[in-house]
């Protein structure tokens, strides 16, 4: 299976823009999805596909990709965005799923 | 609105089999893919496997020898069995709906904690 690599921790000042990245060779072939997880809660899907947001997800969340890197961008980060963020995608076989190790986002 | 709820024993002895069920409400299990994910304490998410409505399955290669996922369409449920458990299998176990378009999980259960201990 393939691996997805994320920075363990990222911080952003309140109201500023932050980009959380996810790297993996399989991302050349498959889109990633992004999940937000607050402490003690189940993950919530925030971005999937090319740059799609589920209903109810604020439009300050967006996604992009280039080569082997996919990114989640939060434009105008809010205090409530402080959480762990995980990327996920299909592995190189296309039959299995893999998750990145997660990024802890701190909003200062 | 589809909702998922995990259920099963919170404590399992080492070497025994962990068994969990996910009950789907608000929609039929007879479409989509359904998947299990787990999260050990203080660690990240790990995909366990999924089942399609046809009954076909795919498992994480690292767990494949110990995992079985099945479904019961009459009860609108799907289940996870993980055999020969050790303390390393202690985790919060989530069930989720997997959409094939982008292999993304749009609906999650709240999770259930399973501890492996004698």
Residue in A12, A79, A99, B102 with CA at minimum distance from that of residue A20:
A12
Give CA separation, A11 vs A41, A79, A100, B99, in Å: 21, 11, 18, 31
List A residues 22-51 in contact with B (Cβ-Cβ < 8 A): 30-31, 33, 35, 37, 41-45, 48-49
Which of B6, B45, B52 to substitute to test the interface with A, most A CBs within 10 Å?
B45
What digits encode the pLDDT tens for the residues A5-26?
999 999 999 999 999 999 999 9
pLDDT over 70, % of chain B? 100
A49/B13 Cα distance (integer angstroms): 40
pLDDT reported for residue A2: 60
Residue identified by tokens 């980009």 is A19
Q: Are B96 and B37 in contact (CB under 8 A)?
A: yes
B7, pLDDT greater than 70: yes
Tell me which DSSP letter residue B77 carries. Answer: E
Q: What is the 3-state secondary structure (H, E, C) of B78-95?
A: EEEEECCCCHHHCEEEEE
A86 at B interface, C-beta within 8 A: yes
What digits encode the pLDDT tens for the residues A24-80?
999 999 999 999 999 999 999 999 998 999 999 999 999 999 999 999 999 999 999
């Amino acid at each position: 299976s393939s691996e997805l690599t994320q920075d363990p921790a990222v911080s952003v000042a309140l109201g500023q823009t932050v980009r959380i990245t996810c790297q993996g060779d399989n991302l050349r072939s498959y889109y990633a999805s992004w999940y937000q997880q607050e402490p003690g809660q189940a993950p919530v899907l925030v971005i999937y596909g090319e740059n799609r947001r589920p209903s109810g997800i604020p439009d300050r969340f967006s996604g992009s990709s280039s080569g082997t890197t996919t990114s989640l961008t939060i434009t105008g980060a809010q205090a409530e965005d402080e959480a762990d963020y995980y990327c996920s995608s299909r592995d190189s076989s296309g039959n299995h799923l893999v998750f990145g190790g997660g990024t802890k986002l701190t909003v200062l | 609105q589809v909702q998922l709820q995990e259920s099963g024993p919170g404590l399992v002895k080492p070497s025994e089999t962990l068994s969990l069920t996910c009950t789907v409400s608000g929609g039929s299990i007879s479409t989509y893919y359904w998947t299990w994910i787990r999260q050990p304490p203080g660690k990240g998410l790990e995909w366990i496997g999924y089942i399609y409505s046809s009954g076909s399955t795919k498992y994480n290669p690292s767990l494949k020898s110990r995992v079985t996922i099945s479904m019961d369409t009459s009860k609108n449920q799907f289940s996870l069995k993980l055999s020969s458990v050790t303390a390393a299998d202690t985790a919060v176990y989530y069930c989720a709906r997997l959409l094939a378009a982008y292999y993304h999980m749009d609906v999650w259960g709240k999770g259930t904690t399973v501890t492996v201990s004698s």
